[in-house]
Structure 1
Amino acid sequence: MSEYQFYDFLAIDRPLDKRQQAELRELSTRAEITATSFTNSYEWGDLKADPLAMVEEYFDAHLYFTNWGTRQLVLRLPLRLLDLTTAQQYCWAEPAEAYQSDDHLILNFTSSDEDADDDSIDRDGEGWLADIVGVRDQLAAGDHRALYLAWLFLIQGGEFGDEATEPPVPAGLGRLTGALREFAEFLRIDPDLIAAAAQASAPVTPQAAADPAELAGWVAQLPIEAKDTALVELLCGDGPTVTAELRRRFRADTGKLAENTVTSRTIGQLLDIAESLRS
């Protein structure tokens, strides 16, 4: 069996300019490079660059897939949309870590299973990032379910003390979006552990589109300084970030953000519930 590696990078908030695309071309002569993406696969050889450094410099999302069981997902968000303190309640160590790079938060998840036969699954990594990347928008909007799933991924191996308690439990774990389901599948998160965690997660129903009249009333009461700042940032090309921040602020001000639940369940109890469900 030959080795297979697949690299996929996406630029979401800002497209890559010609200079950046030229810099990326120096890293690979055969990669497919556009204003929003960098994609390459290898059966012999390797990418001659550090993927984390590429995310920190150029991209907002990265997926790495191999046929020997290693999978990696990296997401970059502006700190104004998701702060380090919040992220590190859930992701504090490998293989699910959060750290700061300049004015961005980096989430780095790595799933390794040498016994997995990823050479035989139906997909080779291509297109998987497009299916998963919606979790980034959800995180930017204040939905922390992906962070909680990452915490489950972190503790499912039993490497942390059974007496440690879980972080705040977001609503909606019993009704995951398609992107969250792909996220869980990619990281091989135990579905029974997700079901165990969902027992303390409040139900959530999909939010209807914001009523234009309600939005207009909310915008009218915003401070002039906030409106001016948003307009300047929009004109400077920060549209996706500004839009996400305003939507999250609107949802928070109007009570549309799903609340988290603080419980006293320990890691050991969750693992026991998951084992009971599995049995």
Structure 2
Amino acid sequence: MSVFDLSGRKALVTGGAQGLGAGMAEALARAGAAVMIGDVQEGAGKETADAIGKSGATTGFVKLDVTSDSDWEAAVAATVQELGGLDILVNNAGIEISALIVDIDPDDVRRMCEVNILGSLLGVKHGLRTMRPEGAAGKGGSIINVSSVAATIAFPAIAGYSATKSAVDRMTKVAAQESGKLGYGVRVNCIYPGLVATDMGLGLASDMAKLGLWPSPEAAVGDVIGLTPLGRLGEVADMADAVVFLASDAARFVTGIGLPVDGGMGM
């Protein structure tokens, strides 16, 4: 059996309705896991779950506002009940609002902190409570947080976003320490995705042009590629395969790391 085989495991992916989250959910299902999509977008989330289910995978959808503690409690409980457990949690949900520091809107920063920091931290909280020996699932597992290359480089107009994604990296390491020392049996890691041509990624390039930092979105993308040793943008599959690795037995002795999946941009 391959060390990347996830047969029999149950996963919850936040922000799984579209973009990176949908790709991660699909990759986990392809590796054999049953997958619950958690998202605030009910229509898109159910469509994604149904599409993945057509391959024969067990899937489901649960409405989840990651900033709500009660939503998290309900979503994790629904995953355990419908899928029969919880072994993998992917904290992917996040937002990015671009602004020059001189034009920062405090409400925008608060919103990013709520979704990116608090949302991920609540996910870790409920993931650990459920996967630890006395939890509802109780078999240990893997939590994968989605940080960003923005946590490792300086790039204009994303100060607030970079700060929140740096926080995701730090909370990952603390959670890995707590899980190990308390015998939870849960590995906690994060990935740093590079720029991917999703709606969020292309929106960022468009924002750079609107702010006058680059003459066009295409020019912004071109410079990002120029900063990337592998010479291209990231693809959804690049990020999804990294999640499968960290969820699998291939990473059985890996915890507390931040894995760059950025083509070398953040080195």
| Larger Rg computed on CA atoms | 1
TM-score over 0.5 (shorter chain)? no
The alignment's TM-score, normalised by the length of structure 1, stands at 0.27
Question: Structure 2 length normalisation: TM-score?
Answer: 0.28
Normalized per residue, the structure richer in helix is 2
